[in-house]
Amino acid sequence: MSHKTAGLLLLSLLVSSEALRILVCFPMTSKSHSILGHGYANRLLDAGHEVVHITSYPSKKIVQNLTEIDVSYLQDFFKEQTMNDDAFKLKNMIGKKNFEESVFFFYFVFTMHKNFLTDPNVIKLLSDPKEKFDAVVLEWFFTEITVGIPALLECPLIWACSTERHWQALRLIDEISNPAYTLDLFSHNRIPLAFWQRAEGLWKVVKRNVQLAIYYPFEKWAYNSIYPEIAAKRGVTMPSYEEAMYNGSFMLLNAHPSIGGSIKLPQNAANIAGYHIEKTKLLPKDLQKLMDEAKHGVIYFSMGSIVQSDGMSEQMKRSLLDMFSKYEQTVIWKFESDLTDVPKNVHLVKWAPQPSILAHPNLKLFITHGGQLSTSEAIHYGVPLVGLPVMADQHYNMISVEAKGFGIKVTLAEDMVPELDAAVRKILTDKTYTNRAKELSALFHDREMPPGVALTHWVEFVVRNRGAPHLRSPAIAVPLYQKLYLDLGVVLAIIIGFIVKVVKYVLSRRSNKQSKEKSS
């Protein structure tokens, strides 16, 4: 056993001399976000800590040191806005852009988090002065109105960023990333940026900051209307909304350079993508048999949990089935309802144990929507991708996958089959993509600490060092006008203006004197 392996093993076995009590809050009530929340809870439990987990997808299992606060009824709002809304049907989302920059997106995220905070079970927990915690792990997802929770509990705040690093999240612990060389999470561009792409990146940052200024009063109103009553029950004085926003001790990012690229981070941030991936579980017997006996390998196809495959038009469903029927490979398609006239080599499943499928040695290719969990799980297992991004960060993720060389991005469209078929056949026949996926998988795993160990290490570190204020960036205390040296610019403009006036005055006096001398 190498010294490095022995060290990691020892590190993974070490736990704090005193178990911590951690509150884990993931307000977004989608299945993918809940998986990430359970990942935090499980890693902290593995390290011997006590966890209180507020979740809309409770496991409902009796686990030692785990208390689940059930807010599953909040799924109703999410399902009403997505699964039961025709606007989120896949056939209606083709060609739609900038949903994530719309007013509806703000309303959706704001309402989701407000519902979370006003849930009776959450209020009961937060109002009880006997409930004490060492730290709060709080998911960040495009709003900060939940920052009152660690302020109420008087303990450190650890942000959990569920996406690749995003300037809007990083601004809470550092300064805004330079858009000249860092992409917005919803960008469709690729580094390096051309002139107009840099202009577009800057415009996105400016536009979003204007939107944030407009939304700020609504969030401040929610903060001031929800927390004071709870704080009174705990005998706590709440800080201002802005103070609470910028009081984060650390930020854990669901990211890694092998996927999204390298970007400078402040001292109080760390990449931990892959932390949610458990030890590979056995496949259900029918899928195990299917994959084991697939003579030419398996293609796995899933569009994720929000925008589902059964929301496709009939024409798209049939054209895809016709395309799949011509492959010698077995196709496992996560399809949420029933279909008739399915080809013999196509196997439909309403639920798919995705990590276990990706881990099977007979899997050749993953056709995906490009969500963050899917791309990180694919690179974890070294599987090449064909991506059909629909919205949000999926375009960014698949552009990155394509740039890294282990996948191909295809434009989602009713007539996409020729392009999709070409991409699938290229990856199946060109081993460069599979080899590159294996190379990047090795990079993904080559870290100082496994992501789950890193997660617990940083949580323990923050608590042990009372919020670790020594790691905080001084940038958050510097106003934007000072970062841009606008005050210096004003002073220089005044000085230059004064000098110009003095010079003009002197020249004018000299000119007048010379004129008088000539006239005399």
Could you tell me the CATH number of the domain that includes residue 454? 3.40.50.2000
- pLDDT in the model for residue 514: 67
Q: How many C-beta atoms lie closer than 10 Å to residue 112's C-beta?
A: 21
Pair 220, 353 in one domain: no
407: which strand partners?
385
Pairing of strands 248-253, 157-161: parallel
pLDDT average, residue stretch 418-437: 94
In a domain, 10, yes or no: no
pLDDT of residue 261: 75
CA neighbours closer than 13 Å in the CB half-sphere of residue 98: 6
**Domain assignment of residue 109, yes or no:** yes
Is residue 216 domain-shared with residue 311, that is, in the same domain? no
- Please tell me whether residues 468 and 347 are part of one structural domain: no
Domain coverage including residue 307:
285-445
Question: Are residue 144 and residue 23 in the same domain, yes or no?
Answer: yes
What is the per-residue pLDDT across 182-217, written as a single tens digit (0 to 9) for each? 888 788 888 888 889 899 888 988 888 888 889 999
Q: Flag whether 334 is in a domain.
A: yes
Highest mean pLDDT range out of 199-203, 263-267, 369-373, 422-426?
Answer: 422-426
Model confidence at 37, pLDDT cuts 50, 70, 90, reads very high
What's the average model confidence in pLDDT over 456-469?
A: 95
pLDDT of amino acid 240: 95
Confidence (pLDDT) at 154: 94
pLDDT score for 427: 95
Q: Is the pLDDT of residue 8 over 70?
A: no
Residues 6+ apart with CB under 8 A from 290: 298, 330, 332, 347
Residue 2 has pLDDT above 50, yes or no: no
Which pair of tokens denotes residue 480? 């934007």
- Residue range 419-443: average pLDDT? 94
Cβ-based burial of 253 (10 A; exposed 0-12, middle 13-18, buried ≥19): buried
Distance from C-alpha of 361 to C-alpha of 7, rounded to nearest angstrom: 30
357-376 mean pLDDT: 92
- Quick one: pLDDT at residue 481? 85
Instruction: Indicate the pLDDT class of residue 96, thresholds 50, 70 and 90.
Output: low
The residues with which 53 forms a beta bridge, in sequence order, are 24, 68
Confidence of residue 419 (pLDDT cuts 50, 70, 90): very high
Residues 141, 93, 196, CA angle at the centre, nearest 5°? 70
Mean pLDDT for the chain overall: 87
User: Is this prediction's pTM over 0.85?
Assistant: yes
Q: How confident is the model at residue 14 (pLDDT cuts 50, 70, 90)?
A: very low
Q: Looking at the structure, tell me whether residues 315 and 214 fall in a common domain.
A: no
Same domain, 381 and 511: no
- The total number of structural domains in the chain stands at 3
Q: Report which of residues 165 and 45 the model is more confident about.
A: 45
Consecutive H or E run containing 402: helix 394-404
Residues 464 and 488 in one domain: no
Render pLDDT for 309-353 as a digit per residue (tens, 0 to 9).
777 788 888 899 999 999 999 999 998 888 888 899 999 988 889
* pLDDT at residue 306, rounded to an integer: 73
Confidence (pLDDT) at 85: 55
Cα separation, 381 vs 395, whole angstroms: 21
pLDDT of 422 higher than 80: yes
Tell whether 323 and 438 lie within a shared domain.
yes
425: its two tokens: 């056949």
Question: What does each C-alpha distance from 371 to 96, 213, 301, 367, 378 come to in angstroms?
Answer: 17, 29, 13, 11, 11
Task: Label residue 94 by pLDDT band (50, 70, 90).
Answer: low
Burial environment of residue 249 by CB neighbours within 10 A (0 to 12, 13 to 18, 19 or more): buried
pLDDT digits (tens, 9 = 90+) for 465-518: 999 999 999 888 888 888 889 899 999 999 999 999 999 888 887 777 666 666
How many residues does this entry show for the chain? 520
- Report the C-alpha gap between 125 and 134 in whole angstroms: 15
Whether residue 87 has pLDDT greater than 70: no
pLDDT of residue 308: 73
CA distance 467 to 249: 5
Residues 289, 352 share a domain = yes
Judge whether 12 lies within some domain: no
Predicted pLDDT at 95 = 62
Q: Is residue 457 part of a domain?
A: yes
- What was the pLDDT predicted at 28? 87
What is the predicted pLDDT for the residue at 391? 80
Confidence of residue 12 (pLDDT cuts 50, 70, 90): very low
Give the tokens for residue 43.
């890693």
> Do 320 and 422 have their domain in common?
yes
Is 5 contained in some domain?
A: no
**Both tokens of residue 96?**
């739609």
| Torsion sign, CA atoms 197, 199, 205, 207 | negative
pLDDT in tens, 126-135: 999 999 999 9
Say if 255 falls within a structural domain.
yes
Do 259 and 334 belong to one domain? no
pLDDT for the residue numbered 7: 47
| 470 and 512 co-located in one domain | no
Determine contact, residues 161/251, Cβ cutoff 8 Å: yes
Helix ranges (H only) for 411-485 are 417-429, 431-445, 451-464, 480-483
Q: pLDDT > 90: what percent of the chain?
A: 54
- Report the pLDDT value the prediction gives residue 72, as an integer from 0 to 100: 87
Q: Is the pLDDT of residue 47 over 80?
A: yes
CA distances from 167 to 184, 201, 263, 454, 472 (A): 7, 11, 11, 22, 16
